[in-house]
């Protein structure tokens, strides 16, 4: 009698253990799938935000390029007696710089669309250099505007112009900072996704 009850007890314990093992083995892939689905969802969401930021910067850079190109063409055709080589060189330099910035933004957009992690990191590092350049530009423009306004005895006009330029470049800086942050986030999520699927 005791041996039968002991065997019955062993069978009950075995059946509970098997059920627990099955539950664990079935929940592991489910958790893994949930993690990968969450990772992919986060990657897509972050990528969409980054693509939006890059598209806004492409639109702004394109507008700036066209505006400078029109100014260059207009100045070269209608310069007349006011023609100045220094102004012409400045306009040419601005058009070339805005064209290079436009190419950079388009390349950045392409590497994000194609999920190229190394390209995203390189473009993010270039973005950091661009951000440093914009900050230096703000400082130099403020100094130039203050000097010009005091020489022309129009301090109020200089202050208004300085505020407008600071606001425009400030918005560009905010977009650049957000773009750099989201670029590094996308690169990190791509790395995690690659590691997740390799394992």
Number of other residues whose CB lies within 10 A of the CB of residue 28: 10
Residue spans per domain, the chain: 2-198
| Token code pair at residue 116 | 């190229």
Ordered alpha helix ranges (H), the chain: 2-78, 85-113, 117-151, 155-198
pLDDT surpassing 50 at residue 187: yes
Mean pLDDT of 117-129: 93
pLDDT band at 95; cut points 50, 70, 90: confident
User: What pLDDT does residue 157 have?
Assistant: 66
User: What pLDDT does residue 40 have?
Assistant: 87
| Closest to 186 (Cα-Cα) out of 136, 106, 97, 118 | 118
| Closest to 43 (Cα-Cα) out of 198, 195, 196, 189 | 189
| Token code pair at residue 54 | 């890059």
| Closest to 98 (Cα-Cα) out of 129, 145, 139, 57 | 57
pLDDT surpassing 80 at residue 185: yes
């Amino acid at each position: 009698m005791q041996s039968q009850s002991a065997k019955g007890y062993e069978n009950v314990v075995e059946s509970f253990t098997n059920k627990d093992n099955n539950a664990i083995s079935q929940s592991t892939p489910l958790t893994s799938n949930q993690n990968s689905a969450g990772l992919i969802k986060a990657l897509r969401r972050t990528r969409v935000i980054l693509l939006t930021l890059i598209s806004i910067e492409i639109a702004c850079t394109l507008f700036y390029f066209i505006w400078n190109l029109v100014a260059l063409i207009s100045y070269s055709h209608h310069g007349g007696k006011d023609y100045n080589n220094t102004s012409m060189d400045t306009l040419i330099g601005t058009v070339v710089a805005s064209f290079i910035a436009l190419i950079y933004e388009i390349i950045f957009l392409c590497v994000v669309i194609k999920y190229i992690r190394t390209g995203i990191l390189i473009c993010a590092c270039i973005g950091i250099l661009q951000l440093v350049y914009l900050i230096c530009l703000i400082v130099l423009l403020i100094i130039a505007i203050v000097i010009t306004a005091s020489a022309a005895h129009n301090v109020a006009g200089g202050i208004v112009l300085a505020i407008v330029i600071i606001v425009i470049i400030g918005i560009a800086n905010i977009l650049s900072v957000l773009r750099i942050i989201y670029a590094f986030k996308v690169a990190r999520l791509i790395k995690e996704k690659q590691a997740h699927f390799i394992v």
